[in-house]
Amino acid sequence: MFSSVLIANRGEIACRIARTARRLGMRVVAVYSEADRNAPHVRLADEAHPIGPAPARESYLVIERLIEVARKAAAECVHPGYGFLAENAAFAEACAAAGVVFVGPPPAAIRAMGLKDQAKRLMEKAGVPVVPGYHGAQQDAASLKKEADRLGYPLLIKAAAGGGGKGMRRVEAAAEFFSALEAAQREAVAAFSEGRVILEKYIDKPRHIEMQVFADAHGNCIHLNERDCSLQRRYQKVIEEAPAPGMTAALREEMGAAAVRAAKAVGYVGAGTVEFIADGTRGLKSGSYWFMEMNTRLQVEHPVTEAITGLDLVEWQFRVAAGEKLSLGQNQVLLNGHAVEARIYAEDPARGFLPSTGKLLALEFPEGVRIDTGVEAGAQVSPHYDPLIAKLIAHAATREVALAKLADALERTVIAGPRSNAGFLAALVRAEEVRAGRIDTGLIDRNLVALVPSGIDCAAAACGAATLLRQEMARIAQSIERADDASPSPWEANDGFSLSGPRVQTIPILVDGVQASATIRYGGDGPVVAVDGAGPALDARTFATADGVLVVRGGWQSLVQWADRVARDFVHADGDGTVKAPMHGRLLALFVAQGDKVAKGQRLAIIEAMKMEHTIAAPCAGTVAEINTAAGAQVAEGARLMTIAPENGKRS
Ligand code: ADP
Ligand code: ADP
Ligand code: MG
């Protein structure tokens, strides 16, 4: 076994590899970009080396820099993790040339499987069923169109060099073919500097079933059961599980054998995954699954396989790379219970799953499930890398219990600051069709409306309003103390708040920019807050920020603000009625057009800055005389957004 390893990666996977390496007694060498100086993967290592600026192109993807660190640190092997250089044959070769063992397959195997067209031709020869389609050399639009017509619609255009769902287009009918082809080629050139495409028949009710394979350098190759990754969005995996619902032992053996044939056909060594697409219309069965591609690396979803087999796949990678033989035969591989993984991303389901960066004010995970993470509270979710916050993996005797455990864990995960998909994932895992095992790659899109609530969570909003109220009272109490010897009197503060007001007060609030009212009842036991009849949620967590209170509940986050405070704090109106941007940011939404009449305090626009939304409200009643920006535009602090001509020529 090796005595040291350089981990050429970051985040969750670098941490996960480091843990196994340390357990095996290795000295762990980490690398980090400028953005990752204080990242957990750096602290988990015995030594860490800087490799350049934040952009991956200038750090994690610079082969020479990594090799230089490997030499300097005298690392015996390099583990590439996944993503970055994991499937880069030139990197594997550079490691070999530097006398460092690359923990992964031989460069030739990476190359053989690197291009989808070439891989499919190889697989046909090896007797592995491939998706019907065209993967030939003719790449002019007319020839491709002819092949497409022959194949029939719907079909998929895929970038030959593709990965991560990029460069893929579904074509519904012949009339759409040319524009889809152009789009796919454009995306392929941009992402992979290579525009070649293949065509594939679009499989009905597609189910993504993949086999984990493992080969040693002594000619042994086995499979470690399948994973079902059919829950996807935009061709990207969201939830993965093992075993696949409805899989029979006989079909597992058949698909496993096909996967082993695929691996052997390219002289594979190490951990790999053979991805199949199955026709789910009549359940999984022989003859209705086809090879899509082979990923020549460890996979993001490998923990579900580890859960059901009891193996540490990273340990096996090291052992195989060190020349050891596989210690298990095919019939010794266990399949114990059921495991499900959810990928928590910093993204906002309510806004089309846009990435959501910014500072993590809190990050807390529940007990009872495996947590693979590489970020921590206080850190920035950087726009430079994959926005994965954590993977949660639940394992239980049955699928039903594993799903319930996972949903519960997702709902108890607390993420404050950036938005996350935790609540969405919980809703997905609890969905009827998912629990019944009736899954296919279209399930999420079909159910998007039900999975992403559109209204506000009133109980969470009430919780936020109650916190705002407590802050306000503390502020007043403080100013009363100060007022003992100084003016101005707090009773003259023009903030709409009063202790001597009515017994029931209604205060306008904004919940994620949506207007609502908080009702405050002053009784003997102090004020009681409600929003739309709902009292404060007991299972919510609140976090005070400069903009308002963040309420985290059930995996969702809401920002609750006093509406008048937002208007007062965030509108900069000059004497001439000019509305200026209070900060640098992006104009997310513009609610008015030139000529519109607006009321004082009316929402005009939303600026997003540091991933927080700031409402710009009208400083006075009047007419929008001029608009100087557009939705989506970047705005600089102090930039003029619009001009309001005040009603009757006067401002309030
Ligand atoms: P997988 O097929 O292993 O599930 P995906 O297809 O979801 O992975 O990921 C797309 C690409 O992004 C893959 O090359 C994967 O290795 C990479 N990737 C995914 N997550 C991360 C991460 N946290 N860090 C680095 N690379 C990642
Ligand atoms: P990538 O390299 O981006 O991972 P894949 O070829 O593995 O590309 O396909 C990604 C996803 O696209 C699959 O998991 C599946 O959901 C969908 N897909 C791919 N090929 C087909 C097909 N022929 N029919 C239906 N869906 C497909
Ligand atoms: Mg794939």
Please state the atom number of ligand 1 nearest to the C-alpha of residue 295.
2
Give residue 639's pLDDT: 87
CB atoms within 10 A of CB 546: 7
Identify which has the larger pLDDT, 574 or 191. 191
Give residue 293's pLDDT: 97
Distance 138 CA to ligand 2 centre (A): 22
Ligand positioned closest to the Cα atom of 291: 2
Q: How far are the Cα atoms of 134, 154, 257 from residue 296, in angstroms, in the given order?
A: 23, 29, 17
The proportion of the chain whose per-residue pLDDT surpasses 70, expressed as a percent, equals 94
Q: What is the mean pLDDT of residues 195-221?
A: 97
Identify which has the larger pLDDT, 392 or 586. 392
Give residue 467's pLDDT: 96
Top mutation candidate among 289, 290, 292, 444 for ligand 2, by most atoms within 8 Å of CB: 292
Q: Is the pLDDT of residue 311 over 50?
A: yes
**Residue among 572, 603, 644 at smallest CA distance from 509:** 603
Q: How confident is the model at residue 493 (pLDDT cuts 50, 70, 90)?
A: low
Q: What is the mean pLDDT of residues 522-535?
A: 90
Q: What is the mean pLDDT of residues 39-45?
A: 97
70-114 pLDDT, tens digit per residue, is 999 999 999 999 999 999 999 999 999 999 999 999 999 999 999
Q: Is the pLDDT of residue 601 over 60?
A: yes
349-379 pLDDT, tens digit per residue, is 998 898 898 999 999 999 999 999 999 999 9
Cα separation, 67 vs 49, in Å, equals: 12
Please state the atom number of ligand 2 nearest to the C-alpha of residue 202.
24
Q: Which of 323-332, 398-407, 471-480, 642-651 has the lowest mean pLDDT?
A: 642-651
Ligand positioned closest to the Cα atom of 374: 1
Distance 388 CA to ligand 1 centre (A): 10
Is ligand 2 within 6 A of the CB of residue 463? no
Task: Read off the pTM.
Answer: 0.86
Is ligand 2 within 6 A of the CB of residue 577? no
Q: What is the mean pLDDT of residues 22-30?
A: 98
Cα separation, 351 vs 55, in Å, equals: 26
Ligand positioned closest to the Cα atom of 234: 2
Strands 556-562 and 549-553: antiparallel
Give residue 575's pLDDT: 57
53-66 pLDDT, tens digit per residue, is 999 999 999 999 99
3-state secondary structure at position 372: strand
CA atoms within 13 A on the CB side of 541: 17
Give residue 486's pLDDT: 58
Please state the atom number of ligand 1 nearest to the C-alpha of residue 164.
10
Cα separation, 169 vs 167, in Å, equals: 7
604-632 pLDDT, tens digit per residue, is 888 877 556 677 888 888 899 999 999 88
Q: What is the mean pLDDT of the chain?
A: 92
Which residues are annotated as catalytic?
A: 297
**Is the alpha carbon torsion for 502, 503, 509, 514 positive or negative?**
negative
Is ligand 2 within 6 A of the CB of residue 156? yes
Identify which has the larger pLDDT, 565 or 440. 440
Here the tokens at position 458 are 């009133």
Q: What is the mean pLDDT of residues 6-15?
A: 98
Distance 405 CA to ligand 2 centre (A): 29
Cα separation, 581 vs 587, in Å, equals: 9
Q: What is the mean pLDDT of residues 298-325?
A: 98
